[in-house]
Amino acid sequence: MSDYGYCPTCRAPGVHRSRLSGLTRCLNGHQHMHFDQPAMMAPVREQVIESYFVMRVKETGGEQRKVMFPGHPGAPDRWAGWPTGFNALVELKRPDGKPEAHQRREHDKLRRCGMRVEVLSTKQEVDAFIRIALSR
């Protein structure tokens, strides 16, 4: 048996594919046909991007905080700043994720007040943001 990702029925981890029968079976016993597709991968969640962001900010000597604006839905997820004086509010999304309308409105309000607000949805975008922060 080889590891095959997540069960499409119950999302249980550890789906295995039998090399002999071509069937997949999750830990809950769901059975599925295998059609020679690449191994199923769980979609990258926003939490993965956010954890990566937190790790990279710390690695580069910056500080970050979770942001909440009571009574104002749509606040960006994090504030990040470095001793160089660079700071920004950051909305983190899953890959291909876009801010919802209420988030875009709040981001626009913050930008009109002079705040830098960035929307990052991949590890590559996080790395590019960090490079910009460190170059200032």
The model's pLDDT over 74-111, given as tens digits with 9 standing for 90+, comes to: 999 999 999 999 999 999 999 989 999 999 999 999 99
- HEC profile for the chain? CEECCECCCCCCECCEECCCCCEEECCCCCEEECCCCCCCCCCCCHHHHHHHHHHHHHHCCCEEEECCCCCCCCCCCEEEECCCCCEEEEEECCCCCCCCHHHHHHHHHHHHCCCCEEEECCHHHHHHHHHHHHHC
CATH of domain 46-135: 3.40.1350.10
Q: Which pLDDT tens digit goes with each residue over 22-62?
A: 556 666 666 655 444 455 566 788 999 999 999 999 999 99
pTM recorded for the entire structure: 0.68
| Residue 14 confidence (pLDDT) above 80 | no
